[in-house]
């Protein structure tokens, strides 16, 4: 088995095991969250380059849950037409199309909403407030309606953003969620919202619709991450995409001899405890390193973010054994956080 071996996710055949993880294209949307022609061309280009599974960037399910004002949106039926063009471009090139559903919760910026709601108020953020049960119910409805729109737009499924310290991760993490009602306390309670979202999506979409979950391998510790993963599997999630837990996550120590970073390590540890496909990510970079993870049975899919963006032909070149234009790892942080065009290796 290697990166070119197809894999079935909830009955959908994905042509290879290389995934474009969600990466926001800052500045390409407008303040209404509409898709631009740049998005359509970008995702089509990645699919043309051979990635088997393309996950569209964090797309907000409620305008008041955006992390910034120009984030892509899926909170209104008006978004469907543009999103359809992205899904078509991906699928026309033989790839599987997913879209990441996002709500920033406590990290929602002031420019977007006066209050930042989450499971519990954040003592370090005076704008923050705890959600009422009624509000949680409404947010569950927002995620479900968003998935329904994704389905109408032609996506094969959605990925719920439950990592990086955003809303679903805030609920899952005992370092953030200190509620005393049925949404706090035990793992089951902290994952109640996620379970309701997953069930709600299953109720309104076809049985073949993929529901993936990007989880924090540390929620806040790796042991917690493993418990979260097992529960998500029991709720009927079709794959897990293991990333980090943002500022409140506790990074595990990577054992000597492990050739990848702590984020990949968490994914490989999660894989030991579930039967659904597990996707690993973060600085995997090369086909050799990606293949090794699959060949050693440490993961089922590999996500290649920045290196696929600096070279959209990553998969085709891996097939032909050609040299890939690898990301040069700009410091102090990736220039794409300003705008995609700032990447020194971008084609735009
Ligand atoms: C500019 C930028 C935007 C990102 N946007 C998202 C996002 O929308 N959703 C998400 O879950 N992760 C996001 N990420 C994280 C990536 O999906 C990925 O996990 C990260 O880049 C590490 O993988 P890599 O080393 O292969 O690039 C973003 C990363 C970057 C650099």
φ, ψ for residue 212, nearest 5 deg:
-100, 165
Catalytically annotated residue among 43, 70, 117, 166: 166
**Bridge pairing between strands 301-303 and 239-243:** unpaired
Cα 86 to Cα 194: distance, rounded to the nearest angstrom: 26
Cα 300 to Cα 294: distance, rounded to the nearest angstrom: 6
Residue 43 falls in the annotated catalytic set: no
Tokens of 247: 């500022």
pLDDT at 348: 77
Atom of ligand 1 nearest to the CA of 21: 17
Digit-coded pLDDT (tens) for 67-119: 999 999 999 999 999 999 999 999 999 999 999 999 999 999 999 999 999 99
Cα 279 to Cα 212: distance, rounded to the nearest angstrom: 10
Cα 48 to Cα 175: distance, rounded to the nearest angstrom: 42
φ, ψ for residue 77, nearest 5 deg:
-60, -20
Contact between 144 and 204 (Cβ < 8 Å): yes
- Checking if the pLDDT of 1 tops 80, the result is yes
Atom of ligand 1 nearest to the CA of 327: 27
The total number of structural domains that make up the chain: 1
Task: Confirm whether 2 is domain-assigned.
Answer: no
**Does the beta carbon of 198 lie inside 6 Å of ligand 1?**
no
Atom of ligand 1 nearest to the CA of 164: 11
Task: Confirm whether 1 is domain-assigned.
Answer: no
Task: Confirm whether 124 is domain-assigned.
Answer: yes
pLDDT at 241: 98
The whole domain housing 331 covers: 7-342
Task: Confirm whether 348 is domain-assigned.
Answer: no
**Does the beta carbon of 337 lie inside 6 Å of ligand 1?**
yes
Considering Cα of 71, then 75, then 81, then 85, what sign does the dihedral take?
positive
Digit-coded pLDDT (tens) for 224-254: 999 999 999 999 999 999 999 998 889 999 9
Q: How far apart are the first and last CA of the chain?
A: 34
Digit-coded pLDDT (tens) for 153-186: 999 999 999 999 999 999 999 999 999 999 999 9
**Does the beta carbon of 71 lie inside 6 Å of ligand 1?**
no
**Does the beta carbon of 258 lie inside 6 Å of ligand 1?**
no
Task: Confirm whether 289 is domain-assigned.
Answer: yes
Mean pLDDT of 273-289: 98
- Checking if the pLDDT of 200 tops 80, the result is yes
Cα 290 to Cα 140: distance, rounded to the nearest angstrom: 35
The pLDDT > 90 percentage for the chain reads: 98
**In testing the pocket of ligand 1, which one of 24, 162, 346 has its CB within 8 Å of the most ligand atoms?**
24
**Does the beta carbon of 243 lie inside 6 Å of ligand 1?**
yes
pLDDT at 347: 78
- Checking if the pLDDT of 213 tops 90, the result is yes
- Rg (alpha carbons) of the chain, rounded to whole number: 19
Digit-coded pLDDT (tens) for 108-134: 999 999 999 999 999 999 999 999 999
Mean pLDDT of 24-41: 97
Q: In 3-state terms, the chain is what percent helix, strand and coil (to 5)?
A: 35, 15, 45
**Does the beta carbon of 305 lie inside 6 Å of ligand 1?**
yes
Q: How far is the CA of 316 from the centre of ligand 1 (A)?
A: 22
One DSSP character per residue, 179-245 reads --STTSSSHHHHTHHHHHHHHHHHHHS-TT-EEEEEEES-SSSHHHHHHHHHHHHHTT-SEEEEE--
pLDDT at 102: 98
Task: Confirm whether 39 is domain-assigned.
Answer: yes
CATH number of the domain that residue 150 is part of: 3.20.20.70
The pLDDT > 70 percentage for the chain reads: 100
**Bridge pairing between strands 12-14 and 7-9:** antiparallel
Cα 154 to Cα 338: distance, rounded to the nearest angstrom: 30
């Amino acid at each position: 088995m290697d990166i070119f071996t197809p894999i079935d996710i909830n009955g959908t055949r994905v042509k290879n095991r290389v995934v474009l993880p969600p990466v926001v294209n800052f500045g390409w949307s407008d303040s209404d969250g509409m898709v631009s022609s740049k998005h359509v061309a970008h995702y089509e280009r990645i699919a043309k380059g051979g990635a088997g599974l393309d996950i569209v960037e964090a797309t907000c399910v409620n305008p008041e849950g955006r992390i910034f004002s120009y984030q892509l949106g899926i909170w209104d039926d008006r978004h469907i037409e543009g999103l359809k063009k992205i899904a078509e471009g991906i699928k026309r090139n033989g790839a599987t199309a997913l879209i990441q559903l996002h709500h920033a919760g406590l990290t929602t910026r002031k420019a977007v909403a006066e209050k930042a709601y989450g499971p519990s108020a954040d003592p370090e953020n005076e704008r923050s407030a705890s959600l009422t049960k009624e509000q949680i119910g409404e947010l569950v409805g927002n995620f479900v309606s968003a998935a329904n729109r994704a389905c109408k737009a032609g996506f094969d499924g959605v990925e719920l953003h439950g990592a990086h310290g955003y809303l679903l991760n805030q609920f899952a993490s005992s370092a953030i969620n200190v509620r005393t009602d049925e949404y706090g306390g035990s793992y089951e309670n902290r994952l109640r919202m996620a379970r309701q979202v997953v069930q709600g999506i299953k109720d309104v979409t076809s049985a073949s619709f993929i529901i993936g979950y990007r989880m924090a391998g540390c929620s806040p510790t790796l042991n917690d991450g493993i418990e979260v993963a097992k529960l998500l599997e029991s709720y009927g999630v079709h794959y897990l995409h293991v990333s980090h837990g943002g500022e409140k996550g506790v990074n595990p120590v990577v054992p000597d001899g492990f050739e990848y970073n702590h984020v990949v390590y968490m994914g490989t540890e999660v894989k030991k405890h579930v039967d659904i496909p597990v996707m690993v990510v973060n600085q995997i970079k090369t086909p050799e390193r990606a293949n090794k993870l699959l060949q050693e049975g440490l993961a089922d899919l590999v996500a290649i973010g920045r290196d696929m963006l600096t070279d959209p032909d990553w998969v085709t070149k891996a097939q032909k054994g050609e040299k890939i234009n690898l990301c040069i790892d700009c410091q102090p942080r990736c220039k794409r956080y300003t705008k995609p065009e700032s990447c020194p290796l971008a084609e735009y």
